[in-house]
Amino acid sequence: MNKQVELPLEVPPFSTYHYQAINGAVIGKNPSIKNWFYNQMINLRCDRAFLGGYTTPVFSVVWSDFTDNPHLEIITIPLKYLKGHAHFVIRNLLDDGYYVAYGGIDDYFVEGKSWYGERHFAHDGLICGYDQGDKTYTIYAYDKNWVCRTFKTPQEGLEKGWRYMFKEGVFGLLRAVKPKEAYVELNLKTMCGKLREYLDSSLEKYPPDLERNPVEKQKRTYGIAVQDYLCLYLDKLLDGTIPHERLDRRVFRLVWEHKAVMLDRIRTVEKHLILSSEIGDAYAPLVKQADGIRMMYALYHAQRREDEVRKLCVALLPAYEIPSTIQLVKSIPRNGSGKIVRKYENDRK
């Protein structure tokens, strides 16, 4: 067994949540997996429970969880069955090239993590290295400043974290993760179908009227109309229905990441179909706008600037995005499989 190991990480397309960051960070040995992201990670979703008392829209991107990715090898190991051998198993997995995702470990004891020393919270992260010299792990997670990055933390802190949760009846998991070797094709037919699903969405299809439809708050909204629901979420913050201290700080980072990945997708299609840059050029300002939106939201979180939130409601209107997305769908040929095959070596350059 090695004394020190650190596995390389890629910059993930989505990192709002740990489960998304892991999905993109571990694919370095098979970069073609990014094509699967372009094929699948298009549709948005949110819960409607915030309309009737919940404090977060539970906003996410469909298929963005690393456990949904068929191109990752994943081995699940319940911590409670490892007894006193958990560290030995973690090091062996890292030696064999597996990243080790964990869940159900109390942040309170993990030095450097978001809630270290402040709050008991069963949380997750990714172990990507160890050093037996100073008995530390290198983990990739949100730190005390809420920045997703790698940092070293004492091994004993993770053990204290999982043992504390055992006493609370929460039994965490280790998931050994590595990319599979098979090349992943860019599939325009699949992509086009997902884009159509994304656009087939409206407040008429997903009505927010809870007085006439109280069961609606138990359902999910999908597609571009999710951005309308984020405006409704902002309304709840402004009228005090959702207290400022319960604000979900993550949602508009994910809006920005979704737009950035959509632009990457458009540029990839333009390149491989030998199109002009017209669609991407039209969409690019939306990425910049989404970046500004997340900054305005951060300002509201820090200073309670309600004027910034009112600007957000206008900027989030889906109508700004629809023309470029429709143009992308129309640019994709309807005949054939829609698959684009490139040499594996070219993706590594």
Q: With contact defined as beta carbons under 8 Å apart, do 122 and 162 qualify?
A: no
Q: What is the DSSP string of 308-347?
A: HHHHHHHHT-GGGTHHHHHHHHHHS-SSS--EE---HHHH
pLDDT band at residue 312, thresholds of 50, 70 and 90? low
| pLDDT greater than 60 at residue 338 | no
339: its two tokens: 């698959």
| pLDDT greater than 70 at residue 294 | yes
pLDDT band at residue 298, thresholds of 50, 70 and 90? confident
Lowest mean pLDDT among 41-50, 231-240, 334-343: 334-343
Q: Which residues contact 113 (CB under 8 A, 6 or more apart)?
A: 107, 123, 125, 139, 141, 142, 143, 144, 153
pLDDT band at residue 97, thresholds of 50, 70 and 90? very high
pLDDT digits (tens, 9 = 90+) for 13-39: 999 999 999 999 999 999 999 999 999
Give the residue from 86, 130, 88 showing the smallest Cα distance to 105: 86
Read off the pLDDT of each residue in 134-150 and give the average, rounded to a whole number.
96
Residue 124 CB-density burial (10 A; 0-12 exposed, 13-18 middle, 19+ buried)? buried
The CATH T-level fold of domain 4-42+62-179 is Cathepsin B; Chain A (3.90.70)
CA distance 30 to 40: 17
The SS3 assignment for 299 reads helix
Domain range list for the chain = 4-42+62-179, 186-347
Q: What is the model's pTM? A: 0.89
CA distance 10 to 166: 33
Read off the pLDDT of each residue in 225-234 and give the average, rounded to a whole number.
90
Q: What is the mean pLDDT of the chain?
A: 89
Q: How many CA atoms lie within 13 A of 41 on its CB side?
A: 31
Output the CA–CA distances (angstroms, integers) from residue 231 to 12, 281, 315, in the order listed. Answer: 27, 26, 10
Q: Which residues contact 278 (CB under 8 A, 6 or more apart)?
A: 327
Torsion of CA 290, 36, 70, 250, to 10 degrees: -10
Q: Where do the H-state alpha helices sit in 108-187?
A: 155-167
Give the residue from 174, 198, 173, 166 showing the smallest Cα distance to 62: 198
Q: With contact defined as beta carbons under 8 Å apart, do 229 and 34 qualify?
A: no
| pLDDT greater than 90 at residue 74 | yes
CA distance 47 to 33: 28
What is the reported pLDDT for 16? 96
Read off the pLDDT of each residue in 42-51 and give the average, rounded to a whole number.
93
Q: With contact defined as beta carbons under 8 Å apart, do 155 and 127 qualify?
A: no
Higher pLDDT, 345 or 155: 155
**At 116, which amino acid appears?**
Y
